[in-house]
Amino acid sequence: MADVRRKQAMQPGMFFVAEDRDHVVGTVMAGYDGHRGWIHYLAVSDDHRGTGVGRALVEEAESALRALGCPKVQLQVRPDNSNVIGLYEHLGYAPYEAINMGKRLVVDD
Ligand SMILES: CC(C)(COP(=O)(O)OP(=O)(O)OC[C@H]1O[C@@H](n2cnc3c(N)ncnc32)[C@H](O)[C@@H]1OP(=O)(O)O)[C@@H](O)C(=O)NCCC(=O)NCCS
């Protein structure tokens, strides 16, 4: 929840949910740092997968990033998540070599 709270404080219009009869059935979070756009936390509920919700969420995030002038969107996927890798490749994403590095600045409870 801390991640959602932080997102609501920073570019809140870039946090998208898909709804079906008032129930959230999918989410995606996007952000633009002035250089690259990022997509995080794409997820669709089990009973709505395979119906186009994931594509709609990614395309909504892309179009919001494009509207901000973002030239390239990137994302991180765990190497063993072949399902989502397949989806992103299908939607035009290609892998590129890089080493991800991170440093935690705030330790969540
Ligand atoms: C990955 C996930 C979001 C896909 O959502 P979804 O709603 O089932 O995807 P869609 O039905 O919108 O599929 C979009 C397109 O991708 C294609 N696709 C989906 N999975 C694919 C795969 N593994 N390989 C190739 N194409 C794939 C679909 O056929 C569809 O094609 P079309 O639009 O041209 O007909 C969903 O399975 C999920 O929530 N997974 C668990 C969470 C997760 O791992 N998130 C990623 C965190 S990085």
Domain ranges of the chain: 2-90
40 lines ligand 1 (CB under 6 A): no
Q: Which fold has domain 2-90?
A: Aminopeptidase (3.40.630)
Q: What pLDDT is attached to residue 109?
A: 79
d(CA 15, CA 13): 6
Residue 43 near residue 29, CB atoms below 8 Å: no
Q: What pLDDT is attached to residue 65?
A: 98
20 lines ligand 1 (CB under 6 A): no
The secondary structure of residue 42, as a DSSP letter, is E
- The string of pLDDT tens digits covering residues 75-95 is 999 999 999 999 999 999 999
- The string of pLDDT tens digits covering residues 24-44 is 999 999 999 999 999 999 999
In the block, tokens 């404080």 appear at 9
CA distances from 22 to 25, 26, 28 (A): 9, 12, 17
Q: What pLDDT is attached to residue 73?
A: 98
Atom index in ligand 1 nearest the CA of residue 55 equals 12
pTM of the model: 0.96
In our burial notation (b when 16+ CB lie closer than 10 A, e otherwise), range 17-50 reads ebeeeeeebbbbbbbbeeeebbbbebebeeeeee
